[in-house]
Amino acid sequence: MQPALLRLCIALSVATVVVALLSSVPVLAALASVRSLLLVATIVCWGILFVFYSLRQEAPRKVVSTQGPGGDVLQIATLHALPAAYAKSQGGDFAQGEKLLRSGQYKDAAAAFLRAHEHTMHPACALNAGTALIYIADFDEARAALESGLLRARHLAIRSIEAALRTVLGVLEARQGNMAEALVHYEAAAVLFHQDGDGRGRGDALLNGANACVHRGDWQGARHMLSDAVRAHRRSGGLLGRANAQACRGYIQIECDEVEEALHSIDRATALYRQARSVSGQSHACMLRGNAHFKQLDLDAALAAYQEASSLCKQSGDSLGEASAKVNLGNVHFKQGEVAAALAAYEGALAVHERAGNLLGQARTLTNMGSALARLRRGDEALTALERARMLYERIGAKGRIVDMVDRLIARIKRPRR
């Protein structure tokens, strides 16, 4: 309703101006009466829109955003999303789940939301259960909960729950390395949020899409989605959204070798994450800062940033974030010539990614392992690791420099054998 009302206000305003201009011509002076009617209608329409915006901002949100693992944004339903009858009779488990989720007790939160879902079968419960399960990397259970919720959300008049489920399903696909599928969900979520007049939700879905484009090596697509997300958040406000936009910009700048610019973006993101009290966001910013310093070959600064990121990931219960930090610490060891220490870090990270079913994490870790094994002259093991990585990259549709690097390493290892 909100976008349609806004378009009507704009159309009436344009029509009023056109008629006012035409009525100033003596031949068309009869249009003066129409001009008055259009002016009144325009004023009334803009007044209704203003009231609508005011009421909407004061009303409690049914869906809110939170910082997820790896820099993606997750959506969480509040108790206001449940019908009044459910909120009174079965809201206990849901309310308990909200409290546990806020305190970082994700496993217990998921159990509480699943109990609420069993009683009510409402998609808001499935949404929150899936979100909590993603935090603990239980991807199979998360997928089951989210897909169950999506089936029921399509029958709701409110589109925000379906949009939120789409967003979180996109995060799930991204965490497992399925970037093409993730983008499909993000784009659908952005459309649904727009239809519901939720600019904040639309901006978050687009930011997730921009991150997915970076993973695929699609810089143009990433910049386009980031630009749309920034405009959406500028209109709707939201501290976390602005922080994520700066972090996403920094991520793109790092990948495009604009390191100094990236560090400025990351500093702005860090300040906003602190204002928003987002520990997960701060850990993500630390990881990006470490990546920027690593690209500058400032290894001491990179090591300090990765260690801080690892500590923050432990604090927020982000196991996948810890694994990523471990890989990055291994990269620093590798660069310092401590190859055995680097390999040990990679192996520990790979075990976490395999347990979580994170295909992208596995592929990247195997790439690093292959490089370390090659340096240790363990050619057969290196080739096995790199070929596994190549298969995973093909499976998730990844492209870009990291995939090219794998191909070059495989060719280099095979060359002496011929």
Cα distance between residue 342 and residue 27, in whole Å = 84
Greatest CA separation found in the chain?
Answer: 92
pLDDT of residue 295: 92
Cα distance between residue 165 and residue 181, in whole Å = 14
CA dist 279 → 287, 315, 317, 318 (Å):
12, 8, 10, 10
Three-state SS letters, 350-417: HHHHHHHCCHHHHHHHHHHHHHHHHHCCCHHHHHHHHHHHHHHHHHHCCCCHHHHHHHHHHHHHHHHH
Instruction: Find how far residue 102's CA is from the centre of its chain.
Output: 19
Interval 337-360: pLDDT, tens: 999 999 999 999 999 888 777 777
Q: Are 153 and 161 in contact (CB under 8 A)?
A: yes
Q: Name the stretches of the chain with pLDDT < 70.
A: 1-6, 22-23, 25-35, 49-60, 85, 87-91, 237, 396-400, 416-418
pLDDT of residue 39: 73
3-class secondary structure, 277:
coil
pLDDT of residue 57: 46
Cα distance between residue 77 and residue 127, in whole Å = 7
pTM: 0.73
Q: Are 253 and 291 in contact (CB under 8 A)?
A: no
